[in-house]
A = this chain, B = another copy of it.
Amino acid sequence: MGGDTIPTQTFLNLDQDKKDRIINAAMDEFSNNQFEHAKLSNIVRAAGIPRGSFYQYFEDKYDLFYYIFELVKDKKMEYLSDLLPNPEDKPFLVLFEELFTAGTRFAIENPRFVKVFSHVIDSKGEIYDQMVKTSLEYANTYYVDYIKNDQAKGRLRSDIDPYVFAKIVIDLTLNVSLDEFGISVEELDYDKMKQRITQIISIIKHGVTKGDANV
């Protein structure tokens, strides 16, 4: 019975310590390697369980990854969920700054999670299609509507293509926030990131040109 939970009931029955060891080992492997390069052999060795046991807990490698990736998404949602409902019609740039900040905080506080995430983003393979493509497309339309709304209210220049702007915003959050030349996620520092966000928002908001009113 209960044969179609994603991890098996057997896994859920495990004592917490063993579960933690497995999750930990998987997290390590998946944060250091893309899915296809992650090796079950490493995971079972690091977790200190026999290979055979693993297959009592999960269907296969993909199944494990799916489980881990859900953990990552859930964690990220903890950081973002308060911001998204948007009851009081915040300007888009305010929402953007809040999301950007929350996302950065998530990255700093959960570096391994972010690395798992980044591998999927970069992979652009099946896993990407199945696990994040839809979310990003959703974010895109969400942003586009938001931007159009702000344009209608005169908060944003109406000659800007909402799709292009939304794409920039998403790319910035995905890339700029997470890495820097030679600096890995583990070494991020909150104050520095906060400054960077302020800078980025300022550029997006006012542009880089000096003393120049916009068109």
Contact = CB atoms under 8 A, between A and B. Distances in A.
A196 B36 contact: no
Interface of A: 36-37, 93, 122-124, 133, 136-137, 140, 154-161, 164-165, 167-168, 171-172, 174-176, 180-182, 195-196, 199-200, 202-215
A168 B200 contact: yes
Contacts of A210: 154-158, 214
Contacts of A202: 159-160, 215
17 contacts: A122-B123, A122-B124, A136-B181, A154-B210, A155-B209, A160-B199, A161-B196, A167-B176, A167-B181, A168-B176, A168-B200, A171-B175, A203-B207, A205-B212, A206-B209, A206-B212, A213-B213
A137 B140 CA distance: 30
- Among A159, A168, A207: residue with most chain B CB under 10 A: A207
Nearest to A171: B175
Contacts of A155: 209-210
Contact of A157 (B195, B204, B209, B215): B209
Given A209-B214, A214-B207, A168 B160 contact: no
